[in-house]
Amino acid sequence: MAQPLEQSVTPIAANPPATSNNTTTLPDLESIPSQIGTAVLHSTTGAPVRPNTGQLTDADAQILYRMLLEVGTALDSSGNKDKGGSEDEGLRRVTVGFHSVSYNMTVGAEGYIYVVKCRQ
């Protein structure tokens, strides 16, 4: 059974410093047990931050991004208040499971979506 992505990703600063090639320091998704592919996408556009790895294609990543948009609040926690008066954070993580693989998607605080394809 795949390890939860939430436990495997180290939090990144809200405003990470840019490196010389205009990317930021990203978590090591390759170290997640049972992963067979990864992607990091911009939460606002779905554009890849870096090339996908392993068996996760660009087409797969874009389909998963559109699924997050359809879910609704995944990418926009517009500061809505719940009935208790506290702020509603919105959706932070989605897992889509199939018989042989699962796709774990986490919306990071720094504006990236982390996608990990895992073998079941």
> How far is it between the farthest Cα atoms of the chain?
45
Structural domains in the chain, CATH included, are 28-77+87-119 (3.30.450.30)
Ranges 6-15, 44-53, 90-99: which has the least confidence:
6-15
Per-residue pLDDT of 51-100, as tens digits, reads: 999 999 999 999 999 998 888 655 555 555 556 656 556 667 889 999 99
Distance CA 97, CA 60 (A): 14
Q: Report the amino acid identity of residue 94.
A: V
- Percent over 90 (pLDDT), the chain: 41
Supply the DSSP symbol for 84: T
Residue 25: per-residue pLDDT? 76
Residue 2: per-residue pLDDT? 46
Q: What is the mean pLDDT of residues 15-34?
A: 62
| pTM (two decimals) | 0.67
Tokens 């506290």 sit at which residue? 86
Rounded alpha-carbon distances, angstroms, from residue 52 to 30, 37, 38, 73, 86: 11, 7, 6, 25, 37
Distance CA 24, CA 101 (A): 29
